[in-house]
Every structure is written in structure tokens, then in C-alpha cells.
Chains A and B, each alone.
Chain A
Amino acid sequence: MRNNLLRAAAAGWIVLAIAAVSGGAAGRKFYPDDPLANDPETQDASAVRPWDISNQYDLIENSFLGAGDSDARRAANVNTVDEVPDSSWFTNRIGIRSIANDELIKGPDTGTGPAAGTWTVLSKKTEGVTPGFTMRDSTGEVYWIKFDPKSNPEMASGAEVVSTKFFHAFGYHVPENYVATLRRESLALAPGATLRDRDGRKRPMTIDDIDDILELAAPNSDGTYRVLASRNLPGQPLGPFRYYGTRPDDPNDIFPHEHHRELRGLSVFSAWLNHDEVRSTNSLDTVVEGPGRRIVRHHLLDFGSTLGSGSVQAQTFRNARADDLFWAAQIVAALSDDAIRAIVGTAGFSDTRATEYLTETILVRKSKVLKVWLNGTNPVVRPALSSAGALSFANAAEEAGVAKAAERYTIQWSRFDNTAGTQEPEGTEQTVTGTRAQAPDALISGRTEYIAAQIRAFHAEHPNWSQPLMVYFRRTGDGWSLVGLERNP
């Protein structure tokens, strides 16, 4: 009898223990701190070690060997309202707030580029197709100097500067890239500077080697050279990141890269700006000091081949879903035509026709990007529920001018049980012709903690609009706050 009691007690505790773990883990959809605006790196990444990535292997693996998880499930690193929290990968900028042109033009820049005075050459650039070298300016800052192809002056440097500003505005971490003027007489050779000759043999660098590099560049009429000066990224370089998997020695890298929303969405930005060199070797991880710990920051590099100045089909891009592409297209839409003109102006092209042509091309491509990807799924955005139960939302495609207003919207309201994850429909499906609706009184006046609404849009020319969009509102002290949004749930 005593044993039976003990057995029963043990069984009871075991059931309780399992329920405590599994029930808690699977049951709750929203946490009190949802939606997260920040996903901070909480672990120290001091143990991370530099690595090299083979360009050829990267190509082969991404093209043929099926690198990464091919399951195009919902992006893993989005918060509950379908946005990307700020992290070491991405910082929300133009996508969430209005940014003045001055700030867009400034981009990642913290200064004005290499200081005047002596530029001490440290080594010859060995990678990429454009000639160049690394140097230390008169203030001690290290820059990577790249020249435009002789046949296309201003092209690559202009593309690099303009695209850097764009990708920074999108939210990516990018280096400070400046158009600068090089004077041959300001160059000096660092003691001990070496290079690898054409046969791969290391040897001391000479002043003739610098002249050989300059020989490959087109001088300005006054004998100076227009160069692209890329400031050395802060922190210890670790090598490129991969577009799949996670870094096994970085404790903060927990979402497979092929399931990162901002890496999937990179396909949209790259299509817009003709960035056909999205590959690992055009990225760089660095270890930087974070709050009380060292963390890995992930950067995109090398935009010199964008904007027609110049592909790897990564699994990340193949995994991109309509909601990933919509997210990126929204960011593109947030850049006004005026802002685009301002950014293109930073290229400093000597021929204004080049600036005009590039601007117009980017604007035309923007229109196409928005037309395709804002209409690729349900375009309802910014849902809000007032304390009185008035639902309002907007149509991103209509706002961007790439579609006419929806013929109608349908809304199905329901109670949402956050613990069980179940929905209980309330009333019948509503149909409205505008972007406003009223939640049933039973939901608003009752003690319901969470309200869910499934919204569909209908337009004869855009069948993808009818895909369901799920929104969730949580009761707050004085009304309702958006806590969940699932496009293509």
C-alpha cells in the first residue's frame, strides 16, 4: 500500500514535471515582452576564431551541394509582428522611421574620409579585379584604396559609395566608403611593406610597385587620382560569413542564416541595385566590444559591381518567401525619390548626365521591384485597434502607387487563447470596402485578453492579395496593442 502511494506520487511528480517543461514550451504564443525590437547578443563571443572561405567551394556548395536547410519556412529571426529585431546583423533604419536626406547621405560615415597629408602604403591589394592597396593616413586610420578601371573612370567608386549608402539605409552593417583624391606625391611606403608578386612569391614592396598600380588607373586632368577609400572596419576580422547554417563557435548565432529574414530579403535589394556579387567572400565578420562582452558583427562589403558596374544562388535566396520579399520591398518603398536622388549624388560623378541616368534607372527599377513584390502577397500593413474596437490598416501596394485600392477586404474576428494557441471565431466574416472595420462588441467589452483577426484583400489584378494575414492584439491598460502579425502564416 505504501509502495503504491509512493508510485502514484512519483507518477504524479513526473507528469507534473513533464507538463511543466513541455506544456510551458509549446503552449504560449506571445510573451509579455513581445514584440521584441531588439535581439541583443547575450553571450560572450571571445572564443570565436577567424576562418577562410573558399570562393569556389562557396559557389559549388550554394549551387550544387544544397547548402543549408531548403525548407522555406517562415523566417526564424523575425519577431511576432513580422519585423526583424535589431541585432549584430541588422539595424532597422529607413524601414521603421523617416530619415532626413542628410542622414541618408551620411550613411555609415563617421568622418570625411582619409586625412590629407602622407598616405603610407602598407600592402598591395591582392583580391578582386580592381587595382589597389591598403594605406594608413596621416591620422593613423587604415583605409583600403581601390581605383576605377582605366576604361571606366568613376564607375566602380561611384557605385560603391552610392550602394553603401543604400544598404546602410536598409539596415545592414557596411563599411565607411569615401570617394577621395589621391596625390602621387603624398604616397610613402611603409617600412617592411611586402607584396606577393605575380608568381605568388612574397617580396618587399618598392615605390615602383606603387607606380605599377597607378599605371592601371586613370589619372584626373590635374594628375591626381579619384579613388575609393574604404575605412578599415573596427574590431578583429574573422573572415566572411556563410549564407547558410550558423557559426559553430559563436554562441549568439542561433538562427540558421538561410532562415534570416534580412538575408532572404537581400535578394530584393540586390535585384533593385543590380548587386550580382552577393556571396560569402563579399562579407566580413568582426569581433567588436559589446556591452560587457565581445560579440560578432556581420557586415556586407564590396558594392563596386553594383548598379551595372560589374551569382551565387544561395539557399538563403531560394528560401525567400513572399513575406520576406514583401518585407524588403517595404523598405525599398520607404526611400523616397528625393532621397534616392540625394544618395546617388554622393557618387560625385563629374558628368551630371551620369548622375541623372543612374537616378532614373534606379527609380524605374524601384517601381518594378515594388510592383512585383508588394503585390506578391497580402499587402495589408500597420494594423491598429483602438480602445473602442475600431480596426484600421493600410495597403502598402496602394500607398506605393503600384496598385489601385482593393475591391474589398474580409475580416474574421476571433478570441485567441495565448496558452492553448487556439482561436474561437466571433461572429461571421465581415466585408468592408475601405481600410477600416469594427471589432465585435463581445470581444471588446468582454474580458478577452487577446483578439485575433484574419484579414484578406481582394483585387482582380492581384490574386496574391487574398492570402490570409493574421494579426493579434493584446489588451493593455487603456486599449489594444499589436502583438502579432503573420503574413503567409
Chain B
Amino acid sequence: MARAAAAAAICFVVFVSPPVLSAQDTRAAELERERAQKAAALHPYKPGRLENLLLYFEQSNPLVRLSPHNGFFIDYGYTRKPVGSGIALGAGYRHDLFARKARIELEAGLSVKKYRLLRADLSMPYLADGRFELGIEAVDRYNPQEDFYGLGPLSLREDRVNFRFKGRDYLARAVVRPVDWLQVGTRIGRTTTAIGPGSDTAYPSLETRFTDASAPGLILQPNFNYGDVFAAVDYRDSTGNARSGGYYSLAVRRFDTVGIDQYDFRQIDAVVQQFFPIFDKKRVIAAQVALSAASAGSGDQVPFYLKPTLGGARTLRSVDEYRFRDDNVMFMNLEYRWEAFSALDMALFTDWGKVAARASDLDLSDLEHAYGIGFRFNTAKSVLLRFDIAAGGSEGIQYLINFSNVF
């Protein structure tokens, strides 16, 4: 045993330690020894599950494959999905036709609250190098549980009811984009509407609490000939997550009833958004002022379900979606946004707004307001998830989760 130990020790000194000793004669030799040791144990890098998954998403881009510009697609949400309709999926087929001379889009959407949409759109969007677009669109909407609290600024939260809205639009459009930042267009067509009992059993249905006097249009829902003209100046750096630039839009709409003369009205919608970048766009002051004013002629009324609304994640965050509704709505939003790190923006915000029966009452008195803090998980071009905490109203603290920016 002792002989063996002695022999092993001698062997170690003779055959092992001399190279070690010589390797330590110089720094260069010491480093070379370390590298030689590593060379004897090389192995390829093995990414973990999460890294593999993210690599797959980046390289094969399954979201683009699910939602291609041309082909069958599946999207989160659907075109003009109503706020409050819940998580929804849209799917369909879309493709450029005839060497990009035309384009077709067929879409169906469905939400967990059973909101539905069917849509067909045929257009020529690439005329004049994309400066001019003609199109026709047919849309069938089914919104089974729209919220209603009554009209005017004094409506009560306790009066919350819901109703079913069905609409079908047939519209033709012409849009001109003479320069990248300017868009002018018009749409004409026919829209049909129908109201029914709401499907949300948590709240009464509208017809049990309101009458045609307190909810004009409850009894009779006419068809409309619809027309509008609109213009928009848009020089934001990104439409989905702007950090500089501005967006100004103006639309004048006209609803003329077909067959009866009771609900003709016009509506003006104006939006001004401005983004003031600070510190290389790492911080942004974002401001929005929006106005919707509907006016009916003498003896006419604006149907309650087409009146502008105020409240919720995009307008006044201290109250529920559609909390206030009347012929005229005005609201202002001011946000100070800053980049917490490259995937998260935070924001301090305040909202102010009111509804009124007359446009002349849209002044700065008795404004509803909200203030709070927001967390926006985002990319440079879009907000993927927005979590806002809002207070300031009489209805408690609101927690809002959305999948797009406020504006």
C-alpha cells in the first residue's frame, strides 16, 4: 500500500507536475495551459427551452404566418371590434388580386361575449402608386350586450343596463393620399340597425328600465343613408406607439333615415393628438383633445345607440366603458410617458371630459376626470399590453387591461 502510494506520488511529480511547473514559468504559458485545458473539453452551446422557443418565434415568425398579408389569416381581435366585447379572434382570407391591381378581404370575428362580425371588402388600394384607393365594403355586426347608463352627465351607475345591437353596412369609399402625411376621403352607403334585449344577465335589459323617451330609438330603429367626408394629417413616427409628431383628423358624417323622418342627424368628429419627445424619445408628453358633436334637425333625434360615448380605457379611465352618452362629447388626455426599459414604458396620466345635450354646453366646467399610472409592454411600433390604474372618479379605482395604446 505504502509502496503504491509512493510510486503514485513519484509518478505524479515526474510525469504530471513538471509540465505544470514549466507552464507556470511565464504568464503566457499559464494562459496557454488554461486554453489547452478548455480545448480538451469543448462542446457546442445548447440553448435552453425558453431561448429555443424565442428563437423559433424570431426565425419562423409564426405570428406573421398566422396573419399573412396574403392568404388565410387568424388575428387577435377583428376589424373595428367594439371596446368591452372581450377577447376575440378574427379569421378569414385576404389577397392581392390581378397583380396588385385589386385586393379582397373576407373576415369573420367572434368574441368570448359572443360579439360577431362578418365582413367583405373589395378594393383597389394601390391606384396611382398607392395614392388613391377605391373600395366597397359590406359589414354585418352583432353586439349582444352593449352597456347603457342613460343619457347625459347625470346618468347613474346603478342604472346600468345592456342591449343588443345589430348593424349592417354597405359602404363605398374613395380615399386620396396626395402625400404620405395627408389623407382625404369620402364614404357613402346604407346602414341598417336593430336593437334588442341584451344578453348580459348580470344587468337588466335596456327595455325593462328605459323608454323611448329616455332612450330615443328604442322602439323604432330606422335604416340610414350614410355619407361622410374626412381628412387626416398624420405625421406621427409610429401609428401604434407614437413618440413624436402629430395626428389631426376631422370627419363630418350625415345619417339620413330611409322611409321616415325622425332620426336624421349630422355628426362632427375632431381629434387632435400631439406627441412631444424629450431626451431622444425616451420620454414623451402625449396630449389628445377629441370632440364629437351630433345634431339632429328640428323634430329629429339622434338614436341613443349612435350617440357618442365617454368612459373607459381610451377616453376617461376613471369610469366604465360607455359610462356617459349624449349628443356631444369632449375629452382630453394628457400622458407623461417614459421608458422604464426597452420593453416597458410607464406613464402618468390624467383624463378630463364631459358629455352634454347641447354643443354649447361643452365647456370646461364640471368635467369628469381621472388620473393614474400606466404600464405599457411594447415594441417601438406597438403596445402589446397596457395596464392602467386610474382613480379620480366617484366610482372607485379602475384597473384597465388593453392590448393597444390609449392614443
Contact = CB atoms under 8 A, between A and B. Distances in A.
Interface of A: 3, 6-7, 9-10, 13-14, 16-17, 20-21, 24-25, 28, 31-34, 36, 39-44, 47, 49, 51-52, 54-57, 59-61, 63, 79-80, 129, 197-201, 247-254, 274, 276, 308, 310-313
A20 B21 CA distance: 7
A43 B39 contact: yes
Contacts of B98: none
A59 B17 contact: no
A79 B57 CA distance: 42
Nearest to B130: A215
Given A6-B6, A36-B27, 6 more contacts: A28-B24, A44-B39, A51-B45, A54-B54, A56-B54, A248-B44
Contact of A31 (B20, B30, B69): B30
B55 A9 contact: no
A312 B32 contact: no
Those 8 A-B pairs whose CB atoms lie nearest each other, nearest first:
A199-B68, A251-B39, A10-B6, A13-B9, A54-B54, A31-B27, A10-B5, A6-B2
Decide if the interface of chain A is mainly helix, strand, loop or mixed: loop
B31 interface: yes
B342 A20 contact: no
A39 B25 contact: no
A20 B20 contact: yes
Contacts of B25: 31-32
Contact of B24 (A25, A49, A63, A253): A25
B21 A24 contact: yes
10 contacts: A16-B13, A42-B36, A59-B342, A63-B341, A80-B27, A198-B68, A247-B45, A254-B34, A274-B280, A308-B280
B76 interface: no
Residues of B contacting A: mostly = helix
B70 interface: yes
Given A10-B2, A249-B45, A312-B342, A17 B13 contact: yes
Contacts of B32: 42
A474 B71 CA distance: 75
B209 to A, nearest CB: 50
Contact of A249 (B12, B17, B42): B42
Given A14-B5, A17-B12, A199-B65, A54 B42 contact: no
Contact of A198 (B17, B26, B69): B69
A33 B21 contact: no
Nearest to A281: B58
A276 B380 CA distance: 14
A34 B26 CA distance: 8
B50 interface: yes
B15 to A, nearest CB: 11
Nearest to B71: A199
A251 B54 contact: no
Interface string B276-289: 00001000000000
A3 B24 contact: no
Contacts of A10: 2-3, 5-6, 9
A170 to B, nearest CB: 22
Nearest to A7: B2
Contacts of A17: 9, 12-13, 17
Contacts of B80: none
B9 A14 contact: yes
A20 B13 contact: yes
Given A200-B65, A274-B280, A55 B58 contact: yes
B336 to A, nearest CB: 20
Contacts of A198: 64, 68-69
A241 B320 CA distance: 49
Interface in B53-85: 54-55, 57-61, 64-65, 68-71
Nearest to A65: B50
A24 B24 contact: yes
Contacts of A201: 68
Contacts of B35: 41-43, 251-252, 254
A52 B25 CA distance: 40
A21 B9 CA distance: 12
A54 B58 contact: yes
Contacts of B343: 59, 63
A174 to B, nearest CB: 23
A10 B13 CA distance: 12
A253 B55 CA distance: 24
Nearest to B5: A10
Contacts of B3: 6, 10
B87 interface: no
A54 B57 CA distance: 9
A441 B54 CA distance: 66
Contact of B341 (A6, A247, A313): A313
B10 interface: yes
B26 A31 contact: yes
Contacts of A253: 38
A326 B13 CA distance: 44
B260 interface: no
Contacts of B64: 198-200
Nearest to B235: A151
B208 to A, nearest CB: 50
Contacts of B39: 43-44, 251
B158 interface: no
Contacts of B51: 54, 57, 61
B202 interface: no
Question: Which has the most chain A C-beta neighbours within 10 Å: B6, B25, B50, B71?
Answer: B6
B44 A49 contact: yes
Nearest to A246: B38
Nearest to B40: A251
Interface string B120-148: 00000000000000000000000000000
B96 to A, nearest CB: 11
A210 B42 CA distance: 44
A357 to B, nearest CB: 15
Contacts of B68: 198-201
